Structure 1
């Protein structure tokens, strides 16, 4: 399924009144994991700005020990500080990378903004080296814009 085909499905999930917010986030994770072959782990982290930590939210994929990540640590922690998308074509080339699994070869993290504040991020791991394109970034920005409507 193309990103363009996925967009209205993401919007439908956001508007589904039978699901609570976490169920909607989980449904989006499942949709992306099922629809995009190189999205092998899809999840959300949410910021606690007072503690300067990220906390794992709904996700689909292998279990992770990284349920709390300090701002600045790893790719997710760096995005919490920079407020910018971070595409990692090859995680083995990153100094400040938190290894989740030896099967993870690349990662993309896109911040989630609500009223201009970075409240979290969508994090995607892939078992493929360098699969992420500008189209992935734009699509995930769209996903996060839709999710922002829930807050």
Structure 2
């Protein structure tokens, strides 16, 4: 697949995802390097939605460690159960946070971040990382984002 994505920012959110997901699938097709695939997924999501920050953290030696991302510099390590990412890891579930300042124990890597969605990457019943997406707007993420981002994660994990 060509590296240029077809981006349509005027479509509805579901239409944007439905256009982007096959393109992500094409980016991943035939590439076996996990880190390279995470990097391209971040870039594709950032390009389509222009979120403040989008990236992965991977479980390494009992911590989440920063992996490929797009956006400003980020926290490098997160403990299990700490902040939104660590909580998603500990609970093995997606967390949608409409206002990060109201989330107990939120880790403010960037003060411009106002809302967040974090989805666990679960392989063989174990969380191996998380996909973290931040917006500079309150209440930015919803179940539509959860539904489609879970599809993106499946593509990454099954490639």
Give the TM-score normalised by structure 2.
Answer: 0.86
Aligned to 2:3: none
Do structure 1's residue 107 and structure 2's residue 120 form an aligned pair?
no
Which residue among 30, 41, 47 is the counterpart of 1:34? 47
Aligned length: 145
Aligned to 1:77: 86
Aligned to 1:10: 24
SS in 1 for 2:109: coil
Contact persistence 1:46–1:119 (CA under 8 A)? yes
Q: What do the CA deviations read for 1:85-143 (whole angstroms, capped 9, x no partner)?
A: 00110111112100011110011000111122211110001011101111100111001
Aligned to 2:59: 47
Gaps of 5+ in 1: none
Structure 1 residue 149, shift from structure 2 partner: 1.7
Gaps of 5+ in 2: 1-7, 9-15
Q: 1:16, 1:123 → 2: CA distance? A: 25
Give the TM-score normalised by structure 1.
Answer: 0.90
State the Cα RMSD in Å: 1.3
